[in-house]
Chain A
Amino acid sequence: MVKWSDFERAAIQDIFSKIDYDVVGRAAFSRCLIVYPWTQRYFGSFGNLYNAAAITSNPKVAAHGKVIMAGLEKALKNMDDIKTTYKDLSVLHSEKLQVDPDNFNVKLFSFYCLTIVVAGQMGAAFTPEVQGAFQKFLAVVVASLRKQYY
């Protein structure tokens, strides 16, 4: 099981305590759709995603940003067993939604964009060590989401 240092736990809790989930969720997910436009293929029912302005003001995008953040909060509250916590979520993404697991990669998708949004919010407080802890957390989340794919 993943081991967290005291610093890592504190840094990750601190980040989540400081961010507005609605604002950050919407911002990160919007960026994902704008910067990696092929991810839009999973959101055909979301209506107008034709340009950056449409995406950032789309209410379904905002709602889904909230869903993602709620998922991350579950991981935050169960940091010592994210794998089990995410079992159903992983099955959902592989069997029902059929998301290409490459999209969960930290270098793509909402999680890299989330890192950029958090960095922009925190400024200098997003030190290299804090970045390291946050990226480790997201990497564990990604691994747990991929766990049920076969």
Chain B
Amino acid sequence: MVKWTEEERRIIRGVWEKVDIDEIGEELWARALIVYPWIDRYFGSFGDIFTTTAILKNPKLAALGKVVLSALDTAVKNMDNFKALYAPLSRQHYEKIKVDPDNFRLLAECITITIACKLRAELNPQVQATWQKFLSAVVEAMNSQYK
């Protein structure tokens, strides 16, 4: 498991405190689906997801956004052992949903860009570096059950 300094923990919690789970949850899907449109192959049953307007009004995406960010919340609250906690999630994405693991990295980038738009100058280089270290660990945890 990754080692965190006190400073890094403080920075990650500081970023996370400013995240509104509902707001960011919707926006991250808008960015992912518009910028990486092939992702829509995973959302066949979600209805209209083809324009930003439709995405931001889509209740299934809103709900899924909350699910994703709640999982991130779990990681923030368990920074020393979330890899084990994520094993069932990873297994589910590998076996059931069959998500190409490259998409975890893309979603992580969309999360960071969404946060950059909200936090602006507060996401300074040090904060960006720490936040990306955290998301890399999350992406690795999501990859852990892939063979």
Contact = CB atoms under 8 A, between A and B. Distances in A.
Interface of A: 30-31, 34-35, 52, 55-56, 107, 112-113, 115-116, 119-124, 126-129, 131-132, 135
Contacts of B91: none
B14 to A, nearest CB: 16
Contact of A115 (B113, B118, B120): B113
B33 to A, nearest CB: 8
Interface string B83-107: 0000000000000000000000100
A119 B126 CA distance: 17
Contacts of A113: 128
B30 interface: yes
Contacts of B120: 120-121, 123
B119 interface: yes
A126 B112 CA distance: 13
A131 B116 contact: no
11 contacts: A52-B126, A107-B105, A107-B109, A115-B113, A116-B116, A119-B116, A120-B119, A128-B27, A128-B35, A131-B35, A132-B35
A122 B117 contact: yes
Interface in B50-66: 52, 55
A122 B129 CA distance: 20
A120 B117 contact: yes
A121 B129 CA distance: 18
Nearest to A27: B125
B121 interface: yes
A142 to B, nearest CB: 15
B23 to A, nearest CB: 11
B35 A116 contact: no
B4 to A, nearest CB: 17
A28 to B, nearest CB: 10
Interface in B15-51: 27, 30-31, 33-35
Contacts of B144: none
Nearest to B31: A128
The 5 closest A-B pairs by CB, nearest first: A128-B34, A119-B116, A34-B125, A35-B129, A132-B35
Nearest to B27: A128
A84 to B, nearest CB: 27
Contacts of B55: 128
Among A31, A120, A127, the most chain B Cβ lie within 10 Å of the Cβ of: A120
